[in-house]
Amino acid sequence: MQANVVQKIATKNADGVQGKASVKKLYNRLCNYVWQNKSPLLIAVVIIFCLSCVQVLVPQITRYVIDTVIPEQKFNLLPWLAGVILFVSLLVGFLNFLRSYMMSLFGHRTLNHIRNDLYQHIQTLSISFFDNQRTGDLMSRLAQDVNAIGNLITADMAEIFADSFTVIAIAVYLFIADWQLTLLLLVTWPLMIYLTQVFGQWMRGAYRDVHSSGAAVNNLLQDTISNINIIKSFGNEQYEIERFSEQSRNYMEANIRAVRLWSMFFPVIGILNNLSTLIVLVFGAWEVMVGRLTIGELAAFLAYINQMNQPIRRFSKIMNVLQRAVVASDRIFEILDTEPEVKEKENAIPLTAVRGSIKFEGVEFGYASGKTVLHNFNLEIQPGQIVALVGSSGAGKSTIAKLVTRFYDPQKGRILIGDRNLQDFTLESLREHIGIVSQETLLLYGTVRDNIAYGKLDATDEEIAAAAKAANAHEFIMSFPDGYDSIIGERGVKLSGGQRQRLAIARVLLKNPQFIVLDEATSALDTESESLIQESLQQLLQGPTSLVIAHRLSTIHNADLIVVMEQGCIVETGTHAQLISKGGRYAYLHAIQFPQKSNTPEPTEVQLEQPQPLKEVILA
């Protein structure tokens, strides 16, 4: 399902009917977030209503001055009028301040809610989602797309609310004052509404291109910066500069197309506004000349028209921000609508301890549809046992580790801890009891202490140092100027491969899990580093149930059980001595790595055994 969603994200195109339904759905979903942070919004709405009422009164002062004060020469009212105008100005300024503050408060709370929901949901998604998703695109959604919504709801939404109240209040007054003149004012509005819908659809399509091309730039930046060593080692700086220049140009051209549409829309709306004003001015002048209107009433009418035209002009500008926000919302909700493939049961129970055996019963699994990696896989790992998986690349060894940790779920069969299905337990409690050390050491930017303590967030300095000593890491850590407070750089780039691996082992030692997974933890190390890490691993594997995946067979001679895999099936099981004596696949692999110790001939064909039932798996 997630692969389909990712494909949809990458290939979705604008469609007219679907676009209207999508926009309506987006508005409804955004309203849910709005309602959850409604308190400052409701206060702002009251303020906006008061502000609109005050602004509607301003032209009435103009009408009174022209029709009454000037003709009747009421000089004594001029100071009072000046005071009223000053008071209204101060009141409008104060109400505008309150409106802006409350709308900003509402906007940032809503924005924080959306951002946290998005990040939280991404954390719940399965590994398969990230296998098919680009890091730069996710970063773009969390940063740029959320900010695009923020630009709308923190400031422009306040303008929309205020202008809507103002237009409604003015329209009601104008209909009461002169409905004929008001109808002439509104004659161009149907055309404006139609053009707004048409341009809105065009601009949404344009901004989809803007966001997708912007995500492409982020993807390229993330790839090149994180792999700068490879780029420089091959001398491909100029090639990457040209690639970035092309992506940046695509991003620029997408923005220019969007700006071109908006630049066309804004003056068209302005022309229609001026046309309505011209009609009202001509007809209003005729009404004054025939005595149906006073000059003051016409002046007030024109002032009201100006107050109505300003919101319409502002809305035409806000259309630019609005369409960006619609597209950004669409991209955000696509992620929020993605369901994790690995789901936790509603009645899942916490796993208190990994005391029972771990059994694979008839497990079948494939990463892609129609491509099975494991075929009817059966295996039992007894408590406290060290079980090693060996075999050719692609045999399915690492897949076993991913299934045990529930990074993926099998398509058929089941995995048991004791007599309970792995899926009966909560994901958090399951992974609390599992420690993983992989070939690709994963470290975070920060200090040595931060990275070791990631295995136990409340660990003391003494516990961290003890774990480092057990992992043979304390000595090299103390050789750094800042010791445990030394910054290791992004992904541990300031450390050697062996140092990174020992920190990873220290992190798992500090976690003290009951089940250990070693996924080719020493395959990329030199002999000296491997020797030090082997000592660390001896400490790590004392007590817990352990699953060791290895290419270097020297690291698993002392395993309680060695399982040889080929093409997703078990072909041999036994101890090192038993398998050597059989002269089968394991003996052949051992002879390749240690030719001086064996004369085992190469088998002409690998014979895959039939998948064994659990009761037939020989456990040492």
Query: pLDDT tens, 119-172?
Result: 888 888 888 787 777 777 787 787 778 877 777 776 666 667 777 777 777 777
Domain at 18-336: CATH code: 1.20.1560.10
pLDDT given for residue 378 in this prediction: 92
**In this structure, CATH architecture of domain 351-390+421-552:** 3-Layer(aba) Sandwich (3.40)
Q: Which residues pair with 380 in a beta bridge?
A: 359
Hey, what are 202's tokens?
């065009």
In the predicted model, is pLDDT for residue 604 greater than 60? no
- Over residues 177-213, the pLDDT tens digits come to 777 777 777 777 778 777 777 777 787 778 778 878 8
Q: Are strands 386-391 and 561-566 parallel, antiparallel or unpaired?
A: parallel
Buried b (16+ CB within 10 A) or exposed e, 272-284: bbeebbeebeeeb
Hey, what are 24's tokens?
């309506």
Give me the amino acid identity at 446: G
pLDDT given for residue 23 in this prediction: 59
| Domain map (residue ranges) of the chain | 18-336, 351-390+421-552, 575-606
Contacts of 162 (CB under 8 A, 6+ apart): 48, 51, 52, 99, 311
What is d(CA 106, CA 153) in angstroms, rounded to the nearest whole number? 8
Quick check: pTM over 0.85?
A: no
In the predicted model, is pLDDT for residue 313 greater than 70? no
Strand arrangement of the beta sheet that strand 515-519 belongs to: 434-438, 515-519, 545-549, 386-391, 561-566, 569-574
Handedness of CA 466, 471, 474, 480 (dihedral sign): negative
- Over residues 407-433, the pLDDT tens digits come to 888 989 999 988 888 888 888 888 888
If one compares 533 and 363, the residue with the highest pLDDT of the two is 363
Give me the amino acid identity at 340: P
